[in-house]
Amino acid sequence: MTGSTRPNNVFILGVAGGSGSGKTYFAKALTEALGEKATIVYQDNFYIDQSHRFDHDGGSVNFDHPESLELTLLAKCLSELKSGKSTEIPVYDFKTHTRQGTTLRVPPTNIIIVDGILIFHPDYLRNQFDEMIFFDTPESLRFERRLERDVVERGRTVEGVKAQFLRQVKPMHDEFVEPSKLHAHTIIKDLGDYKEHFDLYKNRLLQLCSQ
């Protein structure tokens, strides 16, 4: 892979929390506020191709277990960005459950914001982050948001989303996601201090970019 080295250091910010916690909204809004100086990277792009195993919506494939993702590749991509090189991000299609043959070429920017539920779980991935934010959001609210997203954006059924949440999402959240908040530098209670922390990070990162 090729890419030009940037004159400034690359700062990598991880934003984690359960599915539907508000982390993606925060990460997107922060990226937009920082403009061309920031790039967002999604954990969801790194799903392993599941088309040969997928049986039905809400079925046996556990998309919330760390082994369903190629997190070592995510760590590699972040390492390349950190060193000032462009990287190739895979593309995953949630409707066909396939990893596409094309990739997204991502150049290094001053700020890289990484969004994902499991990005704080393995230590080799945590080591790529300069700072980590965790969204600690009530389960009932997370479920409502996930239900709406998966039905509207991913073409899923209400029954499939509910079955998956009870069988996989909740147990995996309790086992892998929730414990990872212990590694976070900042914990955001979604219904309380969102704006305060958003403004704080926006100002800090803009200042960092200007140095």
161: in domain: yes
Please give the residue range of the domain that contains residue 84: 11-210
Q: Cα–Cα distance between 163 and 206 in angstroms, integer?
A: 42
Residue 163: partners with Cβ closer than 8 Å, 6 or more residues away: 58
Q: What's the pTM?
A: 0.88
How many domains, the chain? 1
Q: Cα–Cα distance between 31 and 111 in angstroms, integer?
A: 9
> What residue type is 39 in one-letter code?
T
3-state class (DSSP) for residue 74: helix
Instruction: Provide the pLDDT for residue 2.
Output: 32
5: in domain: no
Q: Cα–Cα distance between 126 and 180 in angstroms, integer?
A: 10
Instruction: Provide the pLDDT for residue 149.
Output: 82
The pLDDT tens digits along the chain (211 residues) read 233 344 358 999 999 999 889 999 999 999 999 999 999 999 999 999 877 776 656 456 788 899 999 999 999 999 999 999 999 999 998 888 888 989 999 999 999 999 999 999 999 999 999 999 999 988 988 888 888 888 887 778 888 888 888 888 899 999 999 999 999 999 998 666 788 899 999 999 999 888 7
What are the counts of helices (DSSP H) followed by strands (DSSP E) for the chain? 7, 7
Q: Cα–Cα distance between 33 and 31 in angstroms, integer?
A: 5
Instruction: Provide the pLDDT for residue 110.
Output: 95
Say if residues 48 and 165 touch (Cβ distance below 8 Å): no
Q: Quickly tell me which residue has 């914001």 as its tokens.
A: 113
Q: Quickly tell me which residue has 């991880």 as its tokens.
A: 14
**164, two tokens:** 């998956």
Instruction: Provide the pLDDT for residue 4.
Output: 37
Instruction: Provide the pLDDT for residue 205.
Output: 95
75: in domain: yes
177: in domain: yes
64: in domain: yes
Residue 26 belongs to domain with CATH number: 3.40.50.300
Say if residues 63 and 50 touch (Cβ distance below 8 Å): yes
